[in-house]
Structure 1
């Protein structure tokens, strides 16, 4: 398994750009960032009246806010995660299966998709999803929740339940609250689905023993922003977003990485030409986009290493 901080290094790699933030909206359930695209993260469950930075975020860069992802203050980490996802969403989404919503359980379509494979298996769900109780009579199901209700298990039970599970559905808000590294480690022998609107579209998540991503694709940006701003929770699944399932097989991950590498290589070439032109005019100051050039170069190196690792293991 990767070291615990690795996931945050990757997130910061992909969010290292100077695009300005247009708007941040911290809704009751979701936080949305509008920059290159829209990025979502689940809002903290604890209300507050004293955010010292309110009114100062619009106009900051994605990189500035992304740096908060390692902060232990939940609102700062949530804003960072939404900003990072807005940056990641500038890339073309990976090949996968788009799940169409159903009238009465649009937020549960991921479980419906996998349901035939879950019968007779030990299933653990990290995070309580509205309506999830409909499966308690059908499956050998354990639900872990930070604020347990009904028959949920509290956080510490993960140490006992996840290592014995056959399937684990892991909320991506675990990345924001810093529990992801340990939960992924505990679930490494299960078939693990990282899910929810907070999912970052990272091909490198295969390195954390994640087998499937169940993230979102935005189908109506204006409706999504409005629904979040008006306090919507599961309502975003009605007509603003769709779940997309991506299986992180070695072949799929390599194809996804190749696409990302190609996009970033083109960006590096553009920056390289711009830098050459900058200095050819006799300017002596540092190239204005040097930091971005450096970030793209670093990201390419890491993606190349990840691709090589996959290639070596897949070809062995």
Structure 2
């Protein structure tokens, strides 16, 4: 039975509700937000800085269940915290990670997903949600259109999704769309495409197949200490070289 993609937030809260853990650490890095609770959870940080977060210094020691509910918030920082907390529960125990194929890369590790799918997407209409650093090398080998909230060069603005996604053969959707609330509509528009949910924010949940996701391309933690330090020191793509490794799993029937 199909689940409407709007139900993603109910699903995430249900799957993390069993945890009795408390938050041990939160790091709001320039690019990534790191949570250590039941395990390690990540979410991409909001793009706009904020100097007036009223809850700063109060999160450690709080129950996972209390902060997980923030994933529903329209405040981008609260939603990011909520998603990272939820991932610390789901991704630390998900059996899907054991089934997933770990990706090695001949180039930039942060682009391993695109390198992996390149043989399948050549000659196809491909839409990528978000400008990934270095992606231009694959734009020369495949028909790729990038949608961005802050478009540069040949990127198209995100509102073009209404026109392009229904006609796409492949869509690569950043899992940060869950935290920023664009996930339900983007998934709805991509139902005719092979849909890859990707990035360190990805929750490893089999139920995502019932929303129309065909592949999960998330990460496995390879070095917690290096990951933590790199995020704390402002690291972006560097986490793929020192702390995480991309993994891919086909989850549709």
Tell me whether the two structures share a fold, i.e. TM-score over 0.5.
Answer: yes
1:118-161 Cα offsets, whole Å, 9 max, x none, are 11100000011000111222211110011111111111100000
Q: 1:74 to 1:148 in 2, by over 3 A?
A: same
Tell me the residue number matched to 2:225: 222
Q: Which residue number in structure 1 is paired with residue 104 of structure 2?
A: 100
1:244-283 equivalences in 2 (<5 Å): 244-250=247-253
User: Does residue 213 of structure 1 match 2:216?
Assistant: yes
Tell me if the contact between 2:126 and 2:145 (Cα under 8 Å) persists in the aligned partners: yes
CA RMSD of aligned residues (A): 1.1
C-alpha displacement of 1:37: 0.8
Structure 1 residue 92, shift from structure 2 partner: 4.0
How far apart in 2 are the matches of 1:237 and 1:128? 17
In structure 2, the residue matched to 1:200 is 203
Which one has the largest radius of gyration? 1
Rate the CA distance shift 1:201–1:47 in 2: closer, same or farther, 3 A: same
1:107-122 alignment to 2 at 5 Å? 107-122=110-125
Whole-angstrom CA distance in 2 between matches of 1:117 and 1:101: 16
CA shift, 1:89, in A, is 2.2
CA distance in 1, matches of 2:145, 2:35: 33
Aligned to 1:41: 43
Runs of 4+ in structure 1 over 2 Å off:
1-5
Superposition TM-score, scaled by structure 2 size: 0.96
Q: Considering fraction of residues, name the structure with more helix.
A: 1
Which fold has the larger relative contact order, with Cα–Cα distance below 8 Å and residues 6 or more apart in sequence? 2
Post-superposition offset of 1:86: 0.2
Tell me, what secondary structure is at the counterpart of 1:90? helix
Can you give the 5+ residue segments of structure 2 that lack an aligned partner in the other structure?
none
Question: Which has a greater percent of strand?
Answer: 2
**TM-score normalised per structure 1:** 0.77
In 1: Cα distance, 2:5 partner to 2:117 partner: 28
* CA positional deviation for 1:239: 2.3
Residue equivalent to 1:8: 9
Match of 2:76 in 1: 74
CA contact (8 A) 2:46 2:80 kept: yes
**Does structure 2 conserve the Cα–Cα contact (< 8 Å) formed by 1:99 and 1:244?**
yes
**Residues 101 and 242 in structure 1, CA contact (< 8 A), matched pair in contact too:** no
Number of aligned positions between the proteins: 249
Equivalents in 2 of 1:120, 1:4: separation in Å? Answer: 29
C-alpha contact 1:101 1:237 (8 A) present in aligned 2:
no
